Structure 1
Amino acid sequence: MIAGFKRVIALGAATAALTAGVAFSSVGVAEAAPSHTVVTAAHVGKERCHVVKGYWTKTWHKATRDRHGRVHPGYWTKTWHKARKVCERH
């Protein structure tokens, strides 16, 4: 009787913990979702703001040696820089 009662309490506590975890994790995921919009330029106070568009840059990676002494040649990669809002205070 007492063992059954303890099992029911443990099962209820585990269910409540899982339910709370699902609720908090869904809120965290919603807040962590990236925003794909860029805030337009705004003139607030004495700041001058403008939007810098996203752009690609080419990055050179030097030649390297691995642990066996073999030389791996250098190579180029493209790196994307996201759009952002830049404000300058005057």
Structure 2
Amino acid sequence: MRNTFAVALMLAATLGLAACDKKSEDKAQEAAQHTEQSQEKMNEAQDKVNDAAKENAEAAKAQAESNEAAAKEAAPAAPVATPESK
């Protein structure tokens, strides 16, 4: 009786585990989906990096223009010779 019960219990456990296991095709499809999602995320990240590089270039250009304007303002104006000063 115990032997029959043990065999039945093992058979039920085996069938239960087999029913819960996903097929390799399902796993392959999920892996493909995850790969596609990760590629999309990588593309989004690369776009953000490119945008940041453009903003940095624009900021550097604006800073250079600002420095040039400040240098012009800081330079003393050359005295203008007037006929009265001669």
TM-score, scaled to structure 1: 0.42
**Structure with the largest fraction of strand:** 1
- Which structure carries more relative contact order (alpha carbon 8 Å, separation 6+)? 1
TM-score, scaled to structure 2: 0.44
Which has the greater radius of gyration?
2
